[in-house]
Structure 1
Amino acid sequence: MIDKVAWLRVEDGKILSTRSRGKDVFYLPGGKREPGESDVETLVREIAEELTVTIAPESVVAAGVYEAQAHGHATGVVVRMTCYAADYEGTLAPSHEIEEVAWLTYADRDRVSPVDQLIFDDLHRSGRLRQP
């Protein structure tokens, strides 16, 4: 089991996604906890590292937990993605291992990891993620 924390940011019917260097799919921004970190601490640190913005900790709201086959791993390796919505300050820009930042719609579902596909499906069903 790969346990990750992710930032679910939807604006104007599109979701913020990132693609790491050398990867062929997009992922929601976020990452793994360091020892002793809370989910919010992980979210704040990971987003600052990946996207050079500051998450407002007081705005963090749980947005769901999703599990699916981990992309690029052996069959049976599952990723659990604990998602949070949150406000931020700053200008979004790729940093560290992030090569590309994109605002995706439901039409881009085939460009994201399996766990993100589940999130796209939920957001589309609720009307939050559009399909042009």
Structure 2
Amino acid sequence: MDDRTGRLLIALERRAPLKSVGWLHIREGRLLSVRTRGNDTFYLPGGKYEPGETAVQALSRELSEELGLLVPAEQLSEAFVIHDVAHGKGGRRLHMTCFTGGPQDIAPVPGREIAEYAWFDRRQARERCAPAHSQVVDRLIAEGRMAG
């Protein structure tokens, strides 16, 4: 209630964007993607920050937990940031920092919540991946890092 006018005030809750990290790993023109258990949509390898982590620390930890890959934070370089609506999060905004680097000749081993991994081209990404993932693919194609 506004003390001056006596009118009821309505406050709109605005949730902070969901902050995440993603790994850009391309092989033979296809982008590495992962699917979590119980979900049919694919995402970039990566995930959310733990309290006190930097973006590269979060990605290094997530790659170890999700795919059994030891990628030191020093080997990762920021590529770009994607802003979109987080898939399956009720309209919450997503702020995803994407990185390149790390080992090129890898053999991922799905762990924890990851059910499987796959390598997708542009068409497959549009059909099977979250909207932010498609935005990443479009950006990689525009930058000449991935074939259109």
TM superposition score normalised by structure 1 = 0.91
* Amino acid across the alignment from 2:101: A
Q: Structure 1 residue 50: deviation in Å?
A: 0.2
Instruction: Could you list the structure 1 runs, at least 4 aligned residues long, displaced by more than 6 angstroms after superposition.
Output: none
2:42 partner SS: coil
Q: Deviations over 1:75-130 (max 9, x none)?
A: 3x111110011213863111110001001111112211111111011112233223
Higher RCO, Cα 8 Å, sep 6+:
1
| RMSD of aligned alpha carbons | 1.5
Alignment gaps of 5+ in structure 2: 1-16
Q: Deviations over 1:22-73 (max 9, x none)?
A: 1121100111111111111111100000000111332211110001111112
Name 1:104's counterpart in structure 2. Answer: 120
* 1:90–1:104 CA distance, 2 compared to 1 (3 A): closer
1:37 partner SS: coil
2:41 partner SS: coil
Q: Deviations over 1:9-34 (max 9, x none)?
A: 11221111000011121100111111
Aligned residues: 130
Whole-angstrom distance in 2 between the partners of 1:12 and 1:3: 29
Q: Percent identity over the alignment?
A: 38
TM superposition score normalised by structure 2 = 0.81
Q: Does 1:5 align with 2:21?
A: yes
Q: Does 1:117 align with 2:134?
A: yes
Alignment gaps of 5+ in structure 1: none
Whole-angstrom distance in 1 between the partners of 2:70 and 2:87: 28
Q: Does 1:27 align with 2:40?
A: no
CA contact (8 A) 2:122 2:134 kept: no
CA contact (8 A) 1:56 1:86 kept: no
Whole-angstrom distance in 2 between the partners of 1:90 and 1:102: 13
Larger radius of gyration between Structure 1 and Structure 2:
2
Q: Does 1:56 align with 2:87?
A: no
Whole-angstrom distance in 2 between the partners of 1:94 and 1:74: 27
Whole-angstrom distance in 2 between the partners of 1:29 and 1:38: 17
* Amino acid across the alignment from 2:97: T
Name 1:44's counterpart in structure 2. Answer: 60
